[in-house]
Structure 1
Amino acid sequence: MQLSGIIAYPITPFSDDGKKIQFDILGQTLEHLLDHGCDAIAPLGSTGESAYLSLEEWQQIAEYTVKTVNQRVPVIVGIGELTTRQAILKAKFAESIGADAIMVIPVSYWKLTDEEIFNYFEEIATSTSLPVMAYNNPATSGIDMSPELLVRMFENITNVTMVKESSGDIQRMHRLHELSGGGLPFYNGSNPLALEALCAGASGWCTAAPNLLGGLPKTLYQLITSEQLSAARAIFYQQLPLLRQMVIAGIPKVVKAGLAIQGIHAGSPRKPLHHTTTEEALSLREMLAEVNR
């Protein structure tokens, strides 16, 4: 599967009491992402609060998303599990409902060795025919996969075909390119690094930003791929304050608060996460007004 462009992350909308998923709102946000030219949809990542969902809820969202997108763009289902067994269960489910790929992030309580991480991916990949995007985000997973390990998995595990790099270190992306001879497609997962990463040859940008910024992320991607760098810089700096705020305050709470400002009420993040503070909400409203001016 050749994947490029903007890989968009939908939120998981909850009822006001946080107990139920609002599937009608999820459908509305999915259509919003598709209307703004996103090239793939990736449910059940950190934006979708997957760590706070029951297995049944995870399965419902995965299936609903695949059916709603209905092959208009690829759907990449996120999997982040402590145990190999549970990750395999989800990988098989994703394949059974017609997902196009899975994005796998190993989550650790005990620190894992490189060999344990390699075996984790190997066993998951063996359980499914779906392409696997290896997702490196040490800030949320507690595991930092080196470029050397990621390239080793790419070269030795058939289904591992892509990497999402979210460490925020552009040198990691350069190293992935060098070690693989340019053969390993890598995707930027650090919002404030979008300009540098795409200029460095990232195949795409994995981001929740289109929920609030509409078509601006896609425009940035198109400007860079058409080598209009001056215009790309201008549109990147237009987005940067909001991209930075999403990282600082937390993506689920910022996206949900921003959607509420735009008239889409997706509830609060699930506890123990809190919604934005009054100060954060006012700042967010000003940023949205400025970027849409």
Structure 2
Amino acid sequence: MQFQGALSALVTPFKNGEVDEEAYREFIEWQIEEGIDGVVPCGTTGESATMSHEEHGRVISICVDQVKGRVPVLAGAGSNNTREAIQLTKFAKDAGADGALLITPYYNKPTPSGLVAHFQAIADEVSMPFVIYNVPGRTGLNVQPQTLLDIKKAVPDVIGIKEATGNIRQVSEMLELCADGDCFCMLSGDDFTVLPLLAVGGCGVISVVSNIMPGEMSAMCKAFEDGDMRKAQELHYQMAPLSRAMFCESNPIPVKTALSMMKRMPEEFRLPLVPMLPEHKAELRVLLEKNNLL
């Protein structure tokens, strides 16, 4: 399977309002050295919502160039505007990404047939592996299992989904309908549910916490694959407190703050995101120290 194990939803470093290319390349290199199984530039965690199209294409290109084929690159390319999603997906393909992560249209709240038409329109213009991103907490729309099956039948380029509902029953129903041998990739979009998702047939995670613990998240997925459930459970519970901390404020505020504390990148956000509250920052530092990350 092309996308499996632990993929990091990469944080994008900024410096003086611009993409910090040097820090980004060093960060990607560290992720690979630590054993990450894949990377996802320009996702929610990468603050893609505040990037220009030019920046979007450049960040994907930097990522692909730095990775140099060592791990898969699944580039964020979705939008609630189908024309814009086509353009961003073209950027991803032209940059050499291995696939495109396509969020369901937010705010518009399309019908199931509108969802099918949206992904079909993208595939008509750009052919490459697509992973749908289902995150109702941000989009206001939940892809139902039958709708996912309809999309999969209509759009062969759709090879998987990033499921961020935290609903294992829904994940199980999706796999029941859509899994065809090993041909459909179910990726967790929620660090709390990676292990249970793997247990029902998932293939991995697009993770936030792996930005700071890439080796541990990759090791947990590998332990499960190897049948070492005890080790997988130990790693799950080791990461759990930091996984919770990553969402004490809006993502990616906590994870970028943590990476700044770890001297991996500047603590700089783009509005409307702002720095963490001091009390949350103090709690985060304690957790990082406890895990020997500082």
Deviates more, 1:27-36 or 1:172-181: 172-181
Shift of 1:208: 2.3
Shift of 1:166: 0.6
Partners of 1:111 and 1:213 lie apart in 2 by 35
In structure 2, the partner of 1:252 is 252
**Contact map agreement 1:252 1:269 (CA 8 A) in 2:** no
The amino acid of 1:210's aligned partner reads S
In structure 1, the partner of 2:18 is 20
Structure 1 residue 162 corresponds to structure 2 residue 160: yes
- Superposed CA deviations along residues 19-76 of structure 1, whole A, max 9, x for unmatched, are 2111111111111111111111110000001111111111110111111111111111
Shift of 1:107: 2.7
Backbone CA RMSD of aligned residues: 1.5
In structure 2, the partner of 1:236 is 236
In structure 1, the partner of 2:214 is 214
Alignment of 1:277-292 (within 5 A): 277-292=277-292
- Superposed CA deviations along residues 247-283 of structure 1, whole A, max 9, x for unmatched, are 2323311111111111123332211111111111111
1:48 pairs with one of 23, 46, 49: 46
Percent sequence identity over aligned pairs: 30
Alignment of 1:142-221 (within 5 A): 142-183=140-181, 184-221=184-221
- Superposed CA deviations along residues 67-96 of structure 1, whole A, max 9, x for unmatched, are 111111111110221211111111112111
- Superposed CA deviations along residues 191-247 of structure 1, whole A, max 9, x for unmatched, are 111221122221111112222113110111111111111221122111101101212
Report SS of the residue matched to 2:100: strand
**Contact map agreement 2:106 2:138 (CA 8 A) in 1:** no
Shift of 1:164: 0.8
1:57 pairs with one of 55, 64, 82: 55
Q: Judging changes above 3 Å, is the alpha-carbon distance between structure 1 residues 182 and 283 closer, same or farther for their aligned structure 2 residues?
A: farther
Q: Judging changes above 3 Å, is the alpha-carbon distance between structure 1 residues 181 and 31 closer, same or farther for their aligned structure 2 residues?
A: closer
Report SS of the residue matched to 2:45: coil
Deviates more, 1:157-166 or 1:204-213: 204-213
TM-score of the aligned structures, taking structure 2 as reference length: 0.94
Report SS of the residue matched to 2:78: strand
Partners of 1:229 and 1:241 lie apart in 2 by 20
**Contact map agreement 2:115 2:151 (CA 8 A) in 1:** no
The amino acid of 2:242's aligned partner reads L
**Contact map agreement 1:239 1:291 (CA 8 A) in 2:** no
5+ residue gaps, structure 2, are: none
2:120 pairs with one of 117, 122, 136: 122
1:69 pairs with one of 57, 67, 70: 67
**Contact map agreement 2:248 2:280 (CA 8 A) in 1:** no
Number of residues of Structure 1 aligned to a counterpart in Structure 2: 291
Partners of 1:137 and 1:31 lie apart in 2 by 28
Shift of 1:182: 4.6
Partners of 1:110 and 1:213 lie apart in 2 by 35
**Contact map agreement 1:104 1:133 (CA 8 A) in 2:** yes
5+ residue gaps, structure 1, are: none
Find runs of 4+ consecutive structure 1 residues off by over 6 angstroms: none
Report SS of the residue matched to 1:187: strand
In structure 2, the partner of 1:98 is 96
Partners of 2:208 and 2:32 lie apart in 1 by 13
Report SS of the residue matched to 1:82: coil
Shift of 1:181: 4.6
Partners of 1:7 and 1:214 lie apart in 2 by 8
In structure 1, the partner of 2:225 is 225
